A = this chain, B = another copy of it.
Amino acid sequence: MARRTRVTLLAGGTGGAKLARGLALLGDAVDLTVIANVADDTEMHGLHVSPDIDAICYHLAGIADTERGWGIAGDTRSAHAMLERLGAPAWFTIGDADLATSIERTRRLRDGQRLTEVVTAMASALRIGARVLPATDDRYRTVVVTDAGPLEFQDYFVRLRQEPEVRELTFDGADTARPTNEMLEAIAGADLVVIGPSNPLVSIAPIVALPGVRSAIEAARGSRVAVSPIVAGAALKGPAARMLASLGHEVSARGVARIYAGLVERFVIDLADADAAPSIEALGLAVDVLPTIMSGDEQARALAAAVVEPATGA
């Protein structure tokens, strides 16, 4: 039997969660670790909400609401309706089962567990075979500096519907947050490090900006690949396209490739962007042109297989 390929995926948001699902569907061929962005985390109703960790776990557990794009399939919203009735801030809709995840996470954190331990226990309870590791156990939050002032990510993304113009992105906790040993080991020990098709500025950048992570990726003995979250000049979901434009990046696969040049050797773009391959190769990156739109498990698995294939048996 061939040795399992150790794959470490950096992910945040829906695209990263879908690719995690695709990699998990490769079964025993892959030994999967997912490093999750936590800079979108927020406090809501006094609870610690971790949208990226939860999206990854729900996709891996096969319970994600893939139609709505967030939360748990078939979830109810009774608690949200009651919270609204009681006068609590109601702009952040969360389903009842989804809320339970945050209740249990908050309880464990207040009991003194590290976020890494909390996520490991909860992933195990959901019978997820992959390791899911938060990028850091420390407080670390994206601050979206906008026309309307500095905003927490969810405040910008959900409450204000991405309307304010983005001037700058900073990370609150950048001076104090440290990557976990577990995540650094997962990068160092991987046969393949994959940067998922996530927002490069608010999902991947916060992970890479943690002290030592960029150099750990650059020094990784495995190969390194990124999947473009921009297809035909648009993001499939979320604020990536508008943010890239506001911050002076080209809104294209090539624009994202420029951000990742030096960090990875290989860049996966969609069939729709095949024409861009030469200009991305000119950045010093090998380019794979693949169907990257993961409209279901089958497409996610196929993309995962194609992303992993060059590293198999390495």
| Chain A positions near chain B (C-beta within 8 angstroms) | 45-47, 72, 75-76, 78-83, 85-88, 95-101, 103-104, 106-107, 110-111, 121-122, 125-126
User: Are the CB atoms of A100 and B87 closer together than 8 Å?
Assistant: no
User: Are the CB atoms of A107 and B46 closer together than 8 Å?
Assistant: yes
Contacts A45-B107, A86-B104 given; 7 further ones with Cβ under 8 A? A45-B103, A78-B96, A79-B103, A83-B104, A86-B101, A88-B103, A88-B107
- Closest B residue to A122 by CB, please name it: B86
**A100 touches which of B72, B83, B101, B125 (Cβ 8 Å):** B83
Closest chain-B Cβ to A85's Cβ sits at a distance in Å of 6
**5 closest Cβ pairs, A-B complex:** A46-B107, A82-B100, A78-B96, A82-B97, A79-B100
Interface of chain A, main secondary structure: helix
Question: A82 and B107 in contact (CB under 8 A), knowing A87-B121, A87-B125, A96-B76?
Answer: no
In the bound complex, CA of A175 to CA of B293 (Å): 65
In the bound complex, CA of A101 to CA of B79 (Å): 8
Name 14 A/B residue pairs within 8 A (Cβ), A-sorted: A45-B107, A46-B110, A72-B82, A76-B96, A78-B95, A79-B97, A81-B97, A82-B100, A83-B100, A83-B104, A85-B126, A86-B101, A86-B122, A99-B103
**A79 touches which of B85, B99, B106, B121 (Cβ 8 Å):** B99
Which residues of chain B come closer than 8 Å to A88, judged between CB atoms? Answer: 100, 103-104, 107
User: Are the CB atoms of A96 and B79 closer together than 8 Å?
Assistant: yes
- Closest B residue to A110 by CB, please name it: B46
Which residues of chain B come closer than 8 Å to A99, judged between CB atoms? Answer: 79, 96, 99, 103
